[in-house]
Structure 1
């Protein structure tokens, strides 16, 4: 039986959140390892290549470009039977949701793709610029653009070769053409008429996971309807942007 591992990233304005997050993660009594990354824990090659971009773009500490990188780094120190869960450092962890968190891990192990993603209520075409959709080759496919976006704030996977390929492609597209698919560079192609704004790492990772395949469940981390209030005490993660 492999280890259950939880990872996150705390730097910039979220740097002081790390100790409290770690305590909350320990209290749920499920994870064999809890690893909180920061800029100094990024590989030297990655930090040297993207350091200026990160320093020049405070939003998401470089538009969350570090996210697939830390998962890859965790995979490098993991066994094939391990399960890795990523959640944003600003989330809170509810120890009463241990059973549901355990179910997430079981779903990953049984998943055809060895990955669990969470679907939020945001239609992809509202939150993804069409240059990115075209880059991935799904701009005219409503099974991708007309469905809800897969969240980047929480996901779980096993260290398979296909998941490693996905993470590498995520990084590659993020930094391609001077980061234009990741940052707020205006789309050259016309966006959907109801387009609101680009969601950066979420947009890239969502389309890649839809294209490559992932098991999906509802994003049980925030209030969308009254059902969340009825069941939230049994959910392990709550979406916040806590900084301490």
Structure 2
């Protein structure tokens, strides 16, 4: 099977460097036939159809058009002659140096072969992170609103089965002048528990629920337990937005140190 690895990093130089860094990681594993390290500087080259929405993207810098590029980029990847596409945000790192996480990545590929896409679930329910106009328009039930939202930053797709899903994702993202995607207020009053809208991730998650796609528990984030619970999982969402390598050993210790530094800086600012 031919598998393509895709990532995106845009804006500051460090984000673009992070995209190149994880693409190098992917290439070094020997598990991928090719890698795409896409940035804001070349995203229209990789996904030419995205150019139709350039005015919206330019006036909506947050996420480069609220991450509208993602379904377009994945659609282009699925039409590039590969069997599978693995997508991970540039802030992720790959934990693929040993047999067990490599085997788990193979599980993701097999799930995608069966269902078109492998999706993971976060801890928070849909009703907290989907604005009302979006879930009303897509047609979620009360029961589905109580189900956890899906992860949008790590996805595995079967190239010949995912295009219908991707086209629907694009359709909802661009409906009503991008209203279901962006941060414009809902016409309908929000639920009391609503926290924030999650844009492309929200719409993908709503489609998955309405289509009754299977979802596995999140295997990308292990706060304080990267070296234990995360040791057997292939993709870590550590938000390492730099071009430097991220040695897997001691990951939990480094993340704890990073949090402590941030807390110290906040305390100094407050004082």
Q: Relative contact order (alpha carbons < 8 A, sep ≥ 6): 1 or 2 greater? A: 1
Q: Which residue of 1 aligns with 2:190?
A: 191
Partner of 2:250: none
Aligned to 1:64: 67
Question: Counterpart of 1:51?
Answer: 54
Deviation of the 1:40 alpha carbon: 3.6
Match of 1:152 in 2: 152
Match of 1:128 among 124, 127, 130: 130
Partner of 1:143: 143
Larger CA Rg, structure 1 vs 2: 2
Maintained 8 Å contact 1:28/1:93: no
- Partners of 2:228 and 2:9 lie apart in 1 by 31
Pair 1:219 & 2:218 matched: yes
**Deviation of the 1:154 alpha carbon:** 1.0
Structure 1 alignment gaps of length 5 or more: none
SS in 2 for 1:179: coil
TM-score between the two structures when normalised by the length of structure 1: 0.88
> Matches of 2:212 and 2:231 in 1, distance apart?
30
Do the aligned residues in 2 keep the contact of 1:30 with 1:102 (CA within 8 Å)? no
Aligned counterparts of 1:224 and 1:95: Cα–Cα separation in 2: 19
Report the CA distance shift for 1:114/1:175 in structure 2 as closer, same or farther (over 3 A).
Answer: closer
Gaps of 5+ in 2: 243-271
Q: What residue is the counterpart of 1:89 in the other structure?
A: 90
**What are the Cα deviations for residues 135-181 of structure 1, in whole angstroms up to 9, with x where unaligned?**
1011xx133211001111111121235x2122112112112222111
Structure 1 consecutive aligned stretches of length 4 or more whose deviation exceeds 3 Å = 42-45
- For structure 1, which segment, 199-208 or 6-15, has the greater mean C-alpha deviation from structure 2 after superposition? 6-15
1:172 corresponding residue in structure 2: 171
Q: In the alignment, which residue of structure 2 is the partner of 1:103?
A: 107
Partner of 2:235: 237
The whole-number CA distance in structure 2 between the counterparts of 1:237 and 1:146 is 27
How many residues are aligned here? 234
Alpha-carbon separation, structure 1, partners of 2:49 and 2:108: 33
Deviation at 1:200, TM superposition (A): 0.5
Q: Which residue matches 2:19?
A: 18
Q: 2:22 and 2:127 mapped to 1: Cα distance?
A: 33
CA contact (8 A) 2:5 2:23 kept: no
Q: Is the partner of 2:61 in helix, strand or coil?
A: coil
- After TM superposition, give the deviation of residue 229 of structure 1 in Å: 5.4
SS in 2 for 1:35: strand
Deviations 1:218-242 (A, max 9, x none): 111112686x653212211111333
Could you tell me how far apart the structure 1 residues matched to 2:190 and 2:214 are? 28
